[in-house]
Amino acid sequence: MFRFLEKLGVEEGTCVECGSRSPLISKHLRVCGQCIKKGRGMSIVEEIHAESRKRHSLPPKPPKDFNGVRCGLCVNDCRIPEGSRGYCGLRENVNGKLVHLARTPERGIAEWYHDPLPTNCVAEWCCPGGTGAGYPKYSHAKDGPEYGYKNLAVFYGACSYDCLFCQNWHFRENTKRMSPIITARDLASKVDEKTSCICYFGGDPTPQMPHAIKTSELALREAEGRILRICFESNGSMSHGMLKKAAELSLESGGCIKFDLKAWNENLNIALTGTSNIQTLKNFEWLAGFGDRRDPPFLVASTLLVPGYVDVEEVRALAKFIAGLDEEIPYSLLAFYPHYMMVDMPTTSRKQAEECLKVARRYLKRVRVGNIHLLS
């Protein structure tokens, strides 16, 4: 396999901890997956994330000033010192008060567009918009995609993570500029009679959950009596209070909450995203017990198969975790494409995808591989 990668121009990386050489070691990260899982090279991990954040004038890590103002919206639990911003870049300590830089939480840094159904959504293979699941209460289609209808896609310009492989890393410039700004009321007005779902993603909706929740409430009020599903695609790091409000909206409307489970090993999650996955796993577990709606599924999981890092053992652990909650939860294994600070990495191999699919199916009943066109 390595010779094949060399032909594609993928060079070997070297792990500064164990000295191993492989095309499956990121030259930016400089530490192999196995060393990271053992907690080795974490100071190097911190350096690369600081570099990533500096590029976009964002704090190198979540501020933890004892005398700072606490945000509390996500796992980072920023305590922001005077004159500084929180990790997501949207909130600042001004004279001892937490100030939202978009002026109010009901003004969001976001872009939007209408996407004809079915879309390339992570849950397209099991949601009402892609399959007709939940007809007639939650879907216009009796059997198959909702052709003729559309999704209101809301792309948020901030994130609580710092994924080194982020395919949408340009959102950080929106955070930096604090634009474009749209109010919850204006965004809700983009829903028309042919809009059957709203999906919040990004970036990530986590830093702007108050805006997403307000938008959803306004849109549902105007759409009373017809189908309008509320969906969230997230890293799952939001506070429990925000998650509960989002879950209530999604469950009642027929939408779903899609968590991207980046890794099982906490050290690996920190290395790839700059942040712990403890809150995400707790939130996922809570969601699994919150809504017992199987048609359409309420909770969906996905994992990006990052070569050399998110391997079969990571998928095995995640699949066992999910199955321990409910073996019917849909799980997507997504093929990786090199982006941002892991642009030197190869795409996911077909062999890796097949091995991960096989092991996940030992525990879960609904598993698929997405982005198969990217497999090498």
**What CATH number has the domain bearing residue 201?**
3.20.20.70
Residue 29 in any domain: the answer is no
Are the C-beta atoms of residues 348 and 376 closer than 8 Å to each other? Answer: yes
Contacts for 2 with CB less than 8 Å, ≥ 6 apart: 12, 22, 23
pLDDT digits (tens, 9 = 90+) for 26-35: 999 999 999 9
For residues 127 and 146, what is the distance between their CA atoms, to the nearest angstrom? 10
* Same domain, residue pair 168 and 246: yes
pLDDT digits (tens, 9 = 90+) for 139-193: 999 999 999 999 999 999 999 999 999 999 999 988 888 889 999 999 999 999 9
For helices 312-325 and 350-360, give the axis angle rounded to 10 degrees: 30
* Same domain, residue pair 171 and 89: no
- For every residue of 74-101, which 3-state class applies, written as one string? ECCCCEECCCCECCCCCEEEECCEEEEC
Give the percent of the chain with pLDDT over 70. 97
Residue 21 in any domain: the answer is no
* Same domain, residue pair 135 and 275: yes
With cut-offs at 50, 70 and 90, classify the pLDDT of residue 292. confident
* Same domain, residue pair 154 and 90: no
Q: For residue 80, what are the domain limits?
A: 62-101
* Same domain, residue pair 226 and 91: no
* Same domain, residue pair 162 and 287: yes
Q: Is the pLDDT of residue 9 over 80?
A: no
* Same domain, residue pair 249 and 157: yes
Write the CA distances from 324 to 172, 318, 319, integer angstroms. Answer: 36, 10, 8
Mean pLDDT of the chain: 94
Number of domains composing the chain: 2
Residue 304 in any domain: the answer is yes
DSSP 195: E
- Looking at 45, 78, 101, the residue that finishes a domain is 101
pTM for the structure as a whole = 0.94
For residues 272 and 29, what is the distance between their CA atoms, to the nearest angstrom? 9
* Same domain, residue pair 90 and 204: no
